[in-house]
Amino acid sequence: MACALALPLAAHAQSDAREQQLEQRVAQLEQQLNELKAMIQAQKTAPAPAPAAAQNVAAAPAATPVFSSAPGVSVALHGFVSASAFSQNKSFTYGNGQNALFPVPGSTGSLSGVDVRNTRFWLDFKGAKFAGDWIGGGRIEMDFFGGFNGVGAYSQQQPTPRLRQAYMDLTNPESGTTVRIGQQWDLMFPIDNSPTSLAHIAFPLGYGTGLIGWRFPGVVVMQDLNHGSTGAQWRLDVGVFEGNWSGPGNNVNYLTAGSAGFRPQIEARLHVQDKNWLAYFAAHYSRVDLSGVGGTAPTPIQSSVKSTGYEIGGQWKPGPWTFKGLAYTGNGLGEIFGAMSQFGDIKETGGLVQAGYSFTPNWSLYAFYAYSKPNADDVITWMGNGSTGLLRNRQTALSLQYTAGSYDLSAEWMHDKLDSTSNGVNRKTTSGNQVSLNALYHF
């Protein structure tokens, strides 16, 4: 009888012991999981290692550059560090080095330097909730072309940050609709078809000479036309942007002809893209009141300018080749970097082509040509007193590029040939060359 009672009691005691062991094991696993979560969070929020320590952790996988700014909102830091060592035989318009566009007419004297102003960083925001099926996001983007810190002996080594883009997105993934609000590229700028270059990024090859467009505050609605289907994807973009013009009045306080009467720039773009090609057509319209805000500025030529533009472009990547090209025509396009930044009722045509070939996964070669020809009579009419009229420009470039991981290296040669006049009668041709060695690190 005693043995019969002892057996169940022993079994029950062994069961209790096993349950206690399981509970202890579960507690240990939960503790280890919490410690692992803490380690992952610490890696995400830890600052980047100092350069001296980077060599010791080169073999360790890099943490994803994402952190949270609000519940459900992720923020990613991206950008690149850029450096160009260059040599030129002319001074160039808009600056030398990485923002050289075309030679200053009649300039002389060679120069050289090292330029890091292409260096850029941006923050991408994702995951914000709006209403219904709509979600939000945005971008803040900056580089260092805001000028130099003063005019002293050391200002050249202290470039000033510059806001490039600052916009918010409202997206409906069910309907394929995105509304973008804030400062962004206008629809004439070929954001996904710009020329490849390591020296000229913020001021691309051909900018103002075959490539036009600028950043403005505005609203753009992007609508997928065959959302959810397979094959080529069609999208229609429609945008309204802040007006712009070079005077009259105060260009840094919204008192210019571009702001008079609240007449915005209106643009549209039809875009189609498949696996290895894309194509688009864009149109631009605005009307500028040259009498300015208040209507008091003298208008000796005409009281207003109608700005119109049409652009067609595309890109094709067959095998190791890459082909890019665009052509445009228009009138009064100085406000979006047309006519080599000459403002007036000036007709023009322009375009560019670039061909690239990848010899290996690392090595590639790019050849580039751009052309711009404003109407000479229009340019001379709108020259003004003492200004130089830019009549035609041709730009060519060759670039040999090496890519490995997050690094890009290149040697680039740019040649530019500019026709100009100082009085409407004479003609002068100025040729300029720039040779550069370039390095880029993406993060």
What is the SS3 string spanning 231-299? CCEEEEEEEEECCCCCCCCECCCCECCCCCCCCCEEEEEEEEECCCEEEEEEEEEEEEECCCCCCCCCC
Q: What are phi and psi for residue 148, nearest 5 degrees?
A: -115, 155
Task: Please check whether residue 32 lies inside any domain of the structure.
Answer: no
Q: What is the DSSP letter of 53?
A: H
Q: Each residue of 148-175: b (16+ CB within 10 Å) or e?
A: beeeeeeeeeebeeeebbbbbbbbbeee
9-31 residue pLDDT tens: 344 444 455 555 656 665 555 65
How distant is the alpha carbon of residue 342 from its chain centre?
A: 23
Separation of CA 315 from chain center: 17
Instruction: Check residue 50 and give its pLDDT.
Output: 39
Question: What is the pLDDT at residue 222?
Answer: 98
Which residue from 215, 226, 197, 143 is spatially nearest to 408, judged by alpha carbons? Answer: 197
- Residue 87: count other Cβ atoms within 10 Å of its Cβ: 13
Geometric angle at alpha carbon 133, from 187 and 65, rounded to 5°: 70
3-state secondary structure of 301: coil
pLDDT of residue 11: 43
Q: What is the 8-class DSSP label of residue 132?
A: T
Question: 395 lies in which domain range?
Answer: 79-442
Given a cut of 70, the residues of the chain with pLDDT beneath it are 1-65, 385-386
Helical (H) or strand (E) element with 399: strand 389-404
pLDDT at residue number 60: 41
Residue 40 lies in a domain: no
Could you tell me if residue 44 is inside a domain? no
Backbone conformation region of residue 261, classed left if phi is above 0, alpha if psi is from -120 to 50, else beta: left
Strands 277-289 and 233-241: unpaired
Please give the pLDDT value at position 151: 86
> In angstroms, rounded to a whole number, what is the distance separating the alpha carbons of residues 400 and 419?
28
CATH number at residue 329: 2.40.160.10
What is the reported pLDDT for 30?
A: 61
What gap in Å lies between CA 55 and CA 49, rounded to an integer?
Answer: 10
Does any domain span residue 35? no
- Up-side HSE of residue 24: CA atoms within 13 Å toward CB? 6
For residue 248, whether the previous peptide bond is cis, meaning omega lies within 30 degrees of 0, is yes
Three-state DSSP class for residue 385: coil
Residues 6+ apart with CB under 8 A from 236: 222, 223, 225, 268, 269, 270, 271
> Which residue bears the tokens 């941006």?
122
pLDDT at 28: 58
Q: Is residue 209 one of the residues assigned to a domain?
A: yes
Determine, yes or no, domain membership for 181.
yes
Number of domains in the chain: 1
- 145: in domain: yes
Q: What pLDDT does residue 72 have?
A: 81
Angstrom distance (rounded) from CA 141 to CA 120: 7
Give pLDDT, residue 293: 92
Asked if residue 51 is part of any domain, the answer here is no
User: Nearest Cα to 336, choosing from 179, 162, 139, 190?
Assistant: 190
Radius of gyration of the chain (CA): 29
| 3-state secondary structure at position 39 | helix
- 9 backbone dihedrals φ, ψ, rounded to 5°: -60, -40
CA distances from 192 to 101, 195, 280, 314 (A): 20, 9, 10, 9
- Cα 253–chain centre separation: 25
Instruction: Say if residues 291 and 259 touch (Cβ distance below 8 Å).
Output: no
